[in-house]
């Protein structure tokens, strides 16, 4: 199948949310194969994790893993995306992006605590616990949620929750 050429005159964010799956796939691939860290397109890339097209999903995950570097200015969009989605893959990757931001993402604590307790995706719950540990003392408001992870929860989730609580207290000292 011959792929139509990518219209690079259109802004990258628009191409990542384009109605054409081919345009979305090509834009995600361009980001994933770019040299250097990419920012400003985090929320648009996160939406592609749940795209109908398998190749687009692949390139979106590659980009998120390798080159996407969210900026503090994107925190509001990431929080909103995490509030609105019930897709475990999007929850996982959004929590990952917030965790990569560290303490600066402190205002995301409430929504990360919700994913930790309410997500149907275990990997997303684990990643939310990890993200809270990366945020550190700025995530102290999540301590009650972390304490709710108990003996009935999977061992890895319990370890990550304990590590998050420890990170909050160690960094505060």
**How far, in whole angstroms, is CA 135 from its chain's centroid?**
14
Domain edges within the chain = 7-69, 72-173
The domain made up of 7-69 has a fold known as: 1.25.10
Under 8 Å between Cβ of 48 and 24: yes
pLDDT on residue 10: 82
Ranges in the chain, pLDDT < 50: 1-7, 173
pLDDT on residue 55: 98
Residue carrying the six token digits 């719950």: 125
CA distances (Å), 44 to each of 30, 99, 125, in order? 14, 18, 22
pLDDT on residue 112: 98
User: pLDDT tens, 94-139?
Assistant: 999 999 999 999 999 999 999 999 999 999 999 999 999 999 999 9
- For the whole prediction, is pTM greater than 0.95? no
Under 8 Å between Cβ of 139 and 130: no
pLDDT on residue 4: 42
DSSP letter at 120?
A: S
CA distances (Å), 68 to each of 37, 151, 164, in order? 6, 35, 24
């Amino acid at each position: 199948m011959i792929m139509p050429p990518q219209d690079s005159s259109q802004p990258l964010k628009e191409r990542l949310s384009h109605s054409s799956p081919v345009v979305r796939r090509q834009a995600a691939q361009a980001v994933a194969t770019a040299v250097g860290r990419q920012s400003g397109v985090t929320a648009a890339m996160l939406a592609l994790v749940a795209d109908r097209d398998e190749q687009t999903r692949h390139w979106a995950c590659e980009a998120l893993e390798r080159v996407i570097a969210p900026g503090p200015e994107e925190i509001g969009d990431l929080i909103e995306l995490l509030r609105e989605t019930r897709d475990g893959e999007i929850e996982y990757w959004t929590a990952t992006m917030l965790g990569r931001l560290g303490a600066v993402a402190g205002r995301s604590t409430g929504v990360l605590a919700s994913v930790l307790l309410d997500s149907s995706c275990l990997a997303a719950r684990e990643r939310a616990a990890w993200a809270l540990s990366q945020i550190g003392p700025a995530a102290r408001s999540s301590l009650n949620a972390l304490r709710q992870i108990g003996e009935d929860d999977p061992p890895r989730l319990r370890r990550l929750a304990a590590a998050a609580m420890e990170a909050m207290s160690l960094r505060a000292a």
